[in-house]
């Protein structure tokens, strides 16, 4: 397949599909962190380039629940959330037969549509907790590969919060897809899906 991984600079998901023999490309306004097939630029400009599958990771800064309270405290932030939602809608409506879009729990669920499923890294062999929503078109729901059950995961504080402290690269570390999830995507989404979804999201 010709696979587009939009809004990814880490190359993790791209390379998981590349290892399976697919023509996989990442695209982001930032350069790739791992040398490989990467298009540096606006993903919206290449949506019509004949992709068979697209996996999108739109920035969650103005979409996730943990930050939405700032919309009433900072002038102009609500406008940025609306622009982020418009970007998400364009990705979901891309002329691509199989689409997956991932984001943390946030306003996509209430302003556009509820996710198809919610996954956790610990469902795929990762010692981490991070609820991740998936909006799917033409794809099966991901099935767990290696469930790890713990009271507290390696990325959590005693209170259950993410233990990454404030730093300039915290956003980058938090946004990178876990290898276990990327591998599951490549293994389970590499063939045509029989999962019944609408042709368009809305």
Residue 148 belongs to some domain of the structure: yes
Number of domains into which the chain is organized: 1
pLDDT bucket at 161, cuts 50 / 70 / 90: low
Residue 195 lies in a domain: no
pLDDT of 170 > 90? The answer is no
Average pLDDT over the chain, rounded to whole?
Answer: 86
29-62: pLDDT as tens digits: 999 999 999 999 999 999 999 999 999 999 988 6
Are the CB atoms for 138 and 197 separated by under 8 Å? yes
Domain for residue 145, yes or no?
yes
Range from 24-38, 106-120, 133-147, 170-184 carrying the lowest mean pLDDT: 170-184
Full residue range of the structural domain in which residue 48 is found? 2-188
Whole-number Å distance between alpha carbons of 180 and 139: 18
Is the residue at 172 inside a domain?
Answer: yes
Going across the sheet that includes 132-137, the strands are 38-40, 23-28, 2-6, 53-56, 98-103, 132-137, 117-119
CA distance 123 to 145: 6
pLDDT band at 171 (very low <50, low <70, confident <90, very high): very low
Nearest alpha carbon to residue 57 among 120, 151, 134, 3: 134
Residue 144 lies in a domain: yes
User: Residue 100 belongs to a domain with what CATH number?
Assistant: 3.40.50
Give a yes or no: residue 198 inside a domain.
Answer: no
Does 54 reside within a domain? Answer: yes
pLDDT at 131 > cutoff 90: yes
Band of pLDDT at residue 197, cut at 50, 70 and 90: very low
pLDDT for residue 174: 55
| Position 196 in a domain | no
């Amino acid at each position: 397949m010709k696979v587009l991984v939009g809004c990814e600079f880490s190359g993790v998901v791209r390379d998981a599909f590349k290892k399976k023999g697919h023509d996989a490309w990442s695209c982001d306004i930032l350069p790739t962190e791992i040398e490989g097939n990467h298009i540096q630029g606006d993903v919206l400009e290449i949506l019509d380039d004949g992709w068979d599958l697209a996996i999108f990771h739109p920035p969650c800064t103005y979409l996730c629940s943990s930050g939405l309270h700032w919309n009433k405290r900072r002038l102009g932030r609500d406008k940025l959330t609306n622009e982020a939602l418009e970007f998400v809608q364009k990705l979901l409506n891309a002329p691509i037969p199989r689409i997956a879009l991932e984001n943390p729990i946030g306003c996509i669920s209430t302003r556009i549509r509820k996710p198809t499923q919610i996954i956790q890294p610990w469902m795929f062999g990762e010692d981490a907790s991070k609820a991740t929503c998936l909006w799917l078109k033409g794809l099966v729901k991901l099935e767990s590969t290696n469930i790890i059950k713990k009271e507290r995961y390696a990325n959590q504080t005693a209170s259950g919060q993410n233990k990454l402290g404030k730093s300039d690269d915290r956003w980058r570390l938090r946004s990178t897809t876990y290898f276990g999830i990327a591998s599951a995507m490549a293994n389970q989404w590499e063939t045509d899906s029989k999962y019944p979804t609408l042709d368009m999201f809305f």
